[in-house]
A and B are shown apart, each in its own frame.
Chain A
């Protein structure tokens, strides 16, 4: 399977592989729907870090949208792993202050956020 994007322009998210890690079904489903409308290749949503690691192995994402709290399981080690793989990570969270987040994330979006805010964060992360 080829992962080369042939027609991508700067800021263009079409064809970009993105991993969605979100345990809350409503948000996960809405994220997937929005990103697919943008033409992104979405893997997930994964609701657990173990599933996220597996999907990252299988799909080699360029970007990841990661909810920091997965039913009480914090995703810090997953973020470290994704960063080490070269994946740019946008963290989403309801918490205003996330003290343990490192420079390994491209952006943090506090819930609730809207579609244009998320897409702008992804474009900045990609550039």
Chain B
């Protein structure tokens, strides 16, 4: 069976060939976005996929890995604060959560800087009954989750990855945006 890296390389090649054949500027632009997303997933896969097959990862280790993989230039305008309680979770959640965090941090960096030179992003994870709650909050203007957000590449990917975790995604607007991913512990699923 091919491994994740070879599948991602194959997807990248297919997308690039599709882009080469695409007619129309908008189609080529959308495919280019998809190529960039696949590149981001490949990068996260390389950093967050554990080749040793470890089955459990501590919450604070996962959040540390996520925070360390946010590009430093982005961290000049995004102050990242990470909070995690103790407790471990299934390692197969590492890559989806890492990608979700990356998308939400990128989203906060893009939209949270409206009217301010720096945005504070708090990433948190803790246990709750039967599973986990993962949050990404920013002190930007906030936004309300609309049905058409599912069609946007970034939030659409967040929703797809959340489904992969058998979880739910919601956004609270307070001051800023509070994005909440709830997902069960796979050990509790049959």
Taken together as a complex, chains A and B put the C-alpha atoms of A92 and B68 apart, in Å, by 13
Give the residues in chain A near B41, CB-CB below 8 Å.
none
Q: Is A114 an interface residue (CB 8 A)?
A: yes
CA distance A91 to B70 in the complex (A): 21
Query: Is B75 touching A111 in the complex (CB atoms < 8 A)?
Result: no
Shortest beta-carbon distance from B36 to chain A in Å = 19
Partner of B80, one of A24, A29, A114: A114
Measured CB to CB, the nearest residue on chain B to A67 is: B61
User: B60 and A94: CB pair below 8 A?
Assistant: yes
Taking a contact as CB atoms under 8 Å apart, the answer to whether A25 and B68 are in contact is no
B8-16, B23-31, B47-55, B150-158: which lies at the interface: B47-55
Summed over the interface, the residue pairs from A and B with CB atoms below 8 Å come to a total of: 77
Judged by a CB distance under 8 angstroms, whether B84 is at the interface is yes
* Known contacts A37-B72, A114-B67, A114-B68, A26 near B80 by CB under 8 Å: no
Q: How many chain-B residues does the 8 Å CB contact rule pick out?
A: 30
Q: Among the listed B52, B64, B83, which residue makes an inter-chain contact with A27, where contact means beta carbons less than 8 Å apart?
A: B64
Chain B min CB distance to A55 (Å): 19
Instruction: Say how far A115's CB is from chain B's closest CB, in angstroms.
Output: 5
Given the complex, which residues of B lie within 8 Å of A99, measured CB to CB? none
Q: A25 contacts which of B54, B64, B75, B81 (Cβ < 8 Å)?
A: B54
Kindly list chain B residues whose C-beta atoms are within 8 Å of the C-beta of A31.
68
- Which residues of A pack against B, CB within 8 Å? 24-27, 29-31, 33-34, 37-38, 92, 94, 111-116, 118
Contact with A along B56-81 (1 / 0, CB 8 A): 01101111111111101001000011
Chain B residues within CB distance 8 Å of chain A: 46-48, 50-52, 54, 57-58, 60-70, 72, 75, 80-84, 86, 94, 123
- Determine whether the beta carbon of A111 is less than 8 Å from that of B52: no
Is B52 within 8 A of A25, CB to CB?
yes
User: Are the CB atoms of A113 and B64 closer together than 8 Å?
Assistant: yes
**Which are the 5 A-B pairs with shortest beta-carbon distances?**
A112-B63, A112-B82, A30-B68, A26-B65, A111-B60
In angstroms, Cα B67 to Cα A31, docked, is 10
* 14 A–B contacts, CB within 8 A, in A order: A24-B57, A24-B65, A25-B52, A26-B57, A27-B64, A29-B47, A34-B72, A94-B86, A111-B61, A111-B64, A112-B67, A113-B64, A114-B70, A114-B82
Shortest B62–chain A CB gap in Å is 6
